[in-house]
Amino acid sequence: MLSIKNLDVSIANKEILKDFNLEINEGEVHVIMGTNGVGKSTLVKALSDHYDCEVTKGEVTFKGKDLLELDASQRANEGLFMSFQNPVEVHGVNNMYFLKSAVNEKRAYKNEEEVNSAQFLKEVKDIIKKYNINNEVIKRNVNEGFSGGEKKKNEMLQLLVLKPDLIMLDEIDSGLDIDAIKLVANAVNSMLDGKRSVLMITHYDRLLELIKPDFVHIIKDGKIAKSGDYNLALELQKRGFEGLGEDNESS
């Protein structure tokens, strides 16, 4: 589904990712781990065409298409979804209007008809009820005045409504209590149908206990230094990056 080859990404003229390579197939769950500042968030931001990221070299194909040729909205409509580490407050834009607009933009991109308003409202309300999200979320403006947990839940709501093919979670578990983490895990797991893939960034294994990864990668010096399965994450939890020799000091 996703193929990254020899990718170099800079932020503010500082090279963060260097010769980065990664392949994600359909249905796979990948986890990216690493010390602070190694480029984990830069990776997902670069894939989402964040304005801070400058791709200076490399190729990225997504479902056979050159991802680097597409802008942020096109990448989203192709099926990419990044949940933000710190979701942005969009003042004055109603959350329900935003969700419906996003769904309709995706449909227009695929030459499909706009969503039926009544059906869409029902779908959203069903999701809110199933995942114990506060009903007020759809009445308020996008993330405006939301607590940290509510913002992450709003990310999940968007995920469930937009149904992307590649779900990228940038430290979705930060700032969440155990109940909220379970909710996130339930939402993500409900979408794993063998075709949908996940790329998770996390520091802690509490989320990984709930969303079982197929692959765990440790980033160091701008590229993947070590890969393994879930056991690598457990080992990391026990020994730390330093213990595994994958901290910034051990180059």
Alpha-carbon distance of 183 to 78, in angstroms, equals 26
How many binding residues for other proteins (CB under 8 A)?
Answer: 28
Site string for other proteins, 11-50 (x = CB under 8 A): -------------------------------------x-x
Candidates 56, 73, 227, 250; binder of other proteins (CB under 8 A) is: 73
Put residue 148 in one of left, alpha, beta given phi > 0 → left and psi -120 to 50 → alpha. alpha
Which residue among 65, 109, 125, 178 contacts other proteins (CB under 8 A)? 109
Name the residue nearer to other proteins (CB basis): 2 or 232.
2
Q: Which tokens in the block code for residue 97?
A: 């209007």
Nearest to 162 by CA among 93, 106, 200, 119: 106
Least distance (Å) between residue 97 CB and other proteins: 8
CA angle, residues 81, 97, 160, in degrees to nearest 5: 35
Find the shortest distance in angstroms from Cβ 123 to other proteins: 16
Question: Of 148, 224, 156, which Cα lies nearest the Cα of 185?
Answer: 156
Report the interface residues with other proteins, using CB under 8 A: 48, 50-51, 71-73, 76-77, 82, 84, 87-93, 97-98, 101-102, 105-106, 109, 141-142, 158, 162
